[in-house]
Amino acid sequence: MRRKTLFTNFVNVPYFTKQDLFILADKFHISETSLNTLIQRAIKSKTIIPLKRNYYVTKEFFIDNRNRLEYKFYLANILLKPSYISRETALQYYGLLSEANLNYYTSTTSKLPRKFGNSLGTFEYRNIKSELLEGYKNIKFSIDNKDYSYVIAEPYKAIFDYIYYRTNKKNIPESKLLKILDELRVSYGELEQIQVNKLINSFK
């Protein structure tokens, strides 16, 4: 294998890691020093796009999918595990929050808060207690006939996380909760009744 074709092995995948490159480089007797040089040159020439430290995507895949929201949600799950799309991003996805924050993707995790910036935008993670890491679902999608999925909060949980981070409170009476929702301009009237009930119960 010629060294300049090293990255073409990943043109059809949504991301790859430095460890993936190490495995391939070792197979073809490319030293770690040479690999690091190849990576830096590829980043400089924009042959590959860095997503975070040691995570990359090829220019070809990036160009073809950079405007796909589901791809960005998928990467949000990948860049920090475990995590799920929530808060502002999920509320905008469900049409429950009118204020849009373009290219800014909010997630919830049980790990320490983190923030990653790359060519797709900013990926922010706020932490929550492990026992509150629930209320999410998997949504499937495909790219070039390959199946993927991302994890996103259910509507009630996206609201819960949004309010929880703003108030730092778990126990909120229903009347006060609805007032907070109005103040934050969350369109909870669009929710199905079962989601409303789950939201109220989550704050008890």
Enter the pTM of the model: 0.93
| Residue 99 and residue 41 in one domain | no
| Residue 13 and residue 86 in one domain | no
116 exposure class (CB count in 10 Å sphere: 0-12, 13-18, 19+): buried
Residue 25 carries which side chain, given as an amino acid letter? Answer: A
Domain around 23:
3-63
pLDDT band at residue 27 under the 50/70/90 scheme: confident
What's the whole-number mean pLDDT along residues 73-88? 97
pLDDT at residue 71 tops 60? yes
Q: How many domains does the chain have?
A: 2
| Domain stop point among 19, 36, 63 | 63
pLDDT band at residue 4 under the 50/70/90 scheme: low
| Residue 38 and residue 139 in one domain | no
Q: Which one, of 130, 201, 119, lies nearest residue 159 by Cα? A: 201
| Domain stop point among 63, 80, 103 | 63
| Residue 58 and residue 70 in one domain | no
CB-based contacts of 13, cutoff 8 Å, min separation 6: 57, 61
Distance separating the N- and C-terminal Cα atoms of the chain:
61
What's the whole-number mean pLDDT along residues 167-176? 87
